[in-house]
Amino acid sequence: MTSNEALTAIHAAWGVKESRQRGPRPGLSAERIVAAACELADAEGLGAVSMSRVAAALDTGAMSLYRHVPSKDHLLALMFDAMAGQAPVPVDGETWQDGIRRWASALRASYLRHSWAAQIPITGPPALPNQVHWMEAMLRSLSETGLPGTHKLGVLQLVAGYVHDDATMNVTIARRTGSGEDIGPHYAGLLRELADAQRFPALRGLVDEGVFDRADPPEEQFHFGLERIIAGVGSLLGTTKP
């Protein structure tokens, strides 16, 4: 998507400008198109989403979609924003640590509900409505920290990136295995075969300890990493407040 197309998508999503061209089909809207595309992706995966398939789901022609959604990339950007949904509302009296936990868990849940979203490339900073509301929610949670603005944005980027990477890994594993089963035992068997103690002594030590056979569930692994991020921010502030 070109910079002009991206700006058109942003303006249309915020209602600043109409993206549609002359003569739209009555009852058709960008919101309906995006909803139909998301339903198709939920049912069949992102690869099934095309302008023609979405048009068929709406009982219209593909060309009529372009009056509201100028391109496939434009549609994907709007789908990604729709996937995020409403940002969690900050809770009065909540610590910044709990704010990060709640924010990250809610975003991860959105990714896992719509596994196709992790396949959509992130091509720029968040600028669509839901994305900006998510930014606002995190920044409010960080307001009590007293961090400089650049550091708040850094924490936001770090947590958002961590959530995205965790969700992408779990979705990819589930897609390739056909389920959310624990692949640890299979991986452990492969490492026992390949990682000899002379070449990979540290790794072999973990294999022999059975670490890969009893890997923590994905949810626990996610929270372990998230707590390390929170602890790092706390260290920056010189506080150990929970």
pLDDT tens sequence across 141-170: 999 999 999 999 999 999 999 999 999 998
CA distance 20 to 2: 18
* Angle, alpha carbons 22-23-28 (nearest 5°): 115
187, two tokens: 């991986």
Per the CB < 8 A criterion, the answer to whether 54 and 35 are in contact is no
Joined tokens for residue 207: 């294999």
For residues 128 and 78, is the Cβ–Cβ distance under 8 A? yes
Domains and CATH numbers, the chain: 3-82 (1.10.10.60), 96-182+217-237 (1.10.357.10)
pLDDT at residue number 178: 65
Whole-number mean pLDDT of the chain?
88
Give 229's contacts (C-beta < 8 A, 6+ positions apart): 100, 155, 158, 159, 162
Average pLDDT over residues 7-29: 66
What number is the average pLDDT over the span 217-225? 92
Average of per-residue pLDDT across 218-231: 95
Q: Higher-confidence residue: 77 or 215?
A: 77
pTM of the model: 0.85
Percentage of the chain with pLDDT > 90? 65
